[in-house]
């Protein structure tokens, strides 16, 4: 019979599960691991990918990351698990904890993650929820760090929906000392609790946070301009309403003219060309979206290494 450990596992449900110093350490580790290629740090470790929502980048980046660290992974589709339907979330957590060393979850609800973490005796990682996308934020900061050579005092302008991606990115920027401007229609502004938490981090890091309904005001003198789809998975019924609400929030050459001359364009993908981003812009020299996509793997390698690092 398995003996339960009393050591509380390191969960990563929100980007703020890292301290600002740990955030920088994970980014530095990602830079190093990117140059090292295949290693055996996580030999004999197994990762379960529990997905309620399909994904190209999240699944492939996590599977390859674990493989390159010497470990193994298995993918569990919505039909195979049925979180809270076929089986209670608590039971899923306790069963998987007997088989694997880490559980990576892509889910519709942050609550599902929190219940899994409560009952799991192994680490749980948020690979996307309705509230945050912290692994994406790690990859985003890694990409900026590589291209700009620093993070502190840069300005990132986020144009569009105050969604899960925006939540994690605002928090991560505030922790790292990156000024964060966000322009959203008033019906789609960022969560108030996220804003308050980010402002607390910004007081320490020196970052400035600016929320507006004006995309041009947000983009002014920005080093990075970032956007995401106007309609996320599960919001398809709102697509027509959202296209109308966000019609003036497209990232295009006109909006880029308000940013710095050497600014870069970011998008977490998948993109709807001609909607949130102008056709052809993601293929332009200013676009770093495919570096950003690749860095999901490298950032997650560093995250997994941090998860299993001895105290």
Distance CA 169, CA 23 (A): 12
R_g of the chain, CA atoms, integer Å: 19
Distance CA 130, CA 107 (A): 7
In the chain, % helix, strand, coil (3-state, to 5) comes to 45, 15, 40
8 CB-near residues (< 8 Å, 6+ apart): none
The DSSP letter of residue 287 is: B
Cβ-count burial 10-37 (b if 16+ within 10 Å, e if not): bbbbbbbebebeebbebbebbeebbeee
Distance CA 65, CA 244 (A): 39
| Omega before residue 71 within 30° of 0, cis | no
Q: What is the 3-state secondary structure (H, E, C) of 44-93?
A: CCEEEEEECCCCCHHHHHHHHHHHHCCCEEEEECHHHHCECCCECHHHHH
What positions carry a catalytic annotation?
106, 133, 136, 228, 268, 296
Alpha helices in 89-238, H assignment, sequence order: 89-99, 110-119, 134-148, 164-176, 192-205, 215-219
Structure token pair of residue 244: 């109308």
Structure token pair of residue 309: 């690092």
């Amino acid at each position: 019979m398995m003996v339960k450990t009393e050591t509380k596992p390191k969960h990563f449900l929100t980007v703020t599960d890292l301290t600002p110093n740990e955030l920088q350490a994970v980014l530095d580790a990602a830079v190093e691991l990117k140059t090292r290629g295949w290693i055996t740090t996580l030999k004999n470790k197994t990762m379960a990918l529990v997905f309620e929502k399909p994904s190209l980048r999240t699944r492939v980046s996590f599977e390859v990351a674990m493989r390159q660290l010497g470990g193994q992974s298995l993918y569990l589709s919505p039909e195979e698990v049925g979180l809270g339907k076929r089986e209670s979330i608590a039971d899923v957590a306790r069963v998987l904890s007997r088989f694997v060393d880490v559980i990576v979850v892509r889910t519709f609800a942050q609550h599902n993650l929190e219940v899994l973490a409560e009952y799991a005796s192994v680490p749980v990682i948020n690979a996307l929820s309705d509230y945050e996308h912290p692994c994406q934020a790690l990859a985003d900061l890694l990409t900026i760090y590589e291209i700009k050579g620093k993070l502190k005092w840069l300005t990132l302008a986020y144009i569009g929906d105050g969604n899960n991606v925006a939540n994690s990115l605002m928090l991560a920027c505030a922790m790292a000392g990156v000024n964060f401007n966000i322009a959203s229609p008033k019906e789609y502004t960022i969560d108030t609790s996220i804003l308050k938490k980010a402002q607390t981090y910004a007081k320490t890091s020196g970052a400035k946070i600016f929320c507006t309904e004006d995309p041009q005001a947000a983009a002014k003198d920005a080093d990075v301009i970032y956007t995401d789809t106007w309609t996320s998975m599960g919001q398809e019924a709102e697509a027509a309403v959202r296209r109308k609400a966000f019609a003036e929030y497209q990232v295009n050459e006109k909006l880029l003219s308000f940013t710095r001359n050497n600014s870069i364009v970011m998008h977490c993908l998948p993109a709807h060309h001609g909607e949130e981003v102008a056709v052809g812009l993601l293929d332009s020299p200013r676009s770093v979206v495919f570096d950003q996509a690749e860095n999901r793997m490298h950032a997650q390698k560093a995250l997994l290494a941090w998860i299993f690092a001895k105290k």
